[in-house]
Amino acid sequence: MNVSDILQSKGDRVVTVRPSETIDVLAHRLKLEGIGAMVVSQDGKTIEGIVSERDVAHGLAEHGASLQGLCVSDLMTKNVVTCSPDDSIAEVAKIMTKRRVRHIPVQLDGVLVGLVSVGDVVKQRLNEMELEANVLRDYAIARQ
């Protein structure tokens, strides 16, 4: 199973935020969309960074109440770990564990084409395990 299988079932919509947007707006948009991270991009195609709820929590600890007025570019991680649609889900899961990130943007020829979260990876793995269990059960029944 590859990253493209996940994108096929969940779609390729990626919520992005501009680097100049305030943290106040970011926090409201994260709440509205019900998501934990946004890719930072000026044009919705080129990845400039990533910002997650953890950055907001750490920012609050560091800046206190003045955090709300800061910009996304003040908190975002610039060195973004990405994957490609052809990467295996097992490989992406390994990267998430090793790098301690829960979101990996998907890039094709330098363009943002999707995002995979740890929740997507777990869901896909559960589906696979269910399928395997069903196949084994059918096999066992057929041999009776």
Q: Which of 18, 102, 123, 125 binds ligand AMP (CB under 6 A)?
A: 102
Separation of CA 23 from chain center: 19
Q: Minimum CB separation from ligand AMP for residue 113, in Å?
A: 14
Binding mask 61-90 for ligand AMP (x = CB under 6 A): ----------------x--xx---------
- Contact between 30 and ligand AMP by CB under 6 A: the answer reads no
Q: Which of 7, 37, 40, 47 binds ligand AMP (CB under 6 A)?
A: 37
- Contact between 46 and ligand AMP by CB under 6 A: the answer reads no
Number of C-beta neighbours around residue 119 at 10 A: 13
Q: Which CB atom, from 108 or from 133, has the smaller least distance to ligand AMP? A: 108
Report long-range pairs for 82-87 (Cβ below 8 Å, ≥24 apart): 82/47, 82/106, 82/107, 83/3, 83/107, 83/116, 84/3, 84/108, 85/2, 85/3, 85/4, 85/7, 85/113, 85/114, 86/2, 86/3, 86/4, 87/2, 87/3
Query: Number of residues in contact with ligand AMP, rule: CB under 6 A?
Result: 15
- Which residues of the shown chain bind ligand AMP in the complex (CB under 6 A)? 36-37, 50-55, 77, 80-81, 101-104
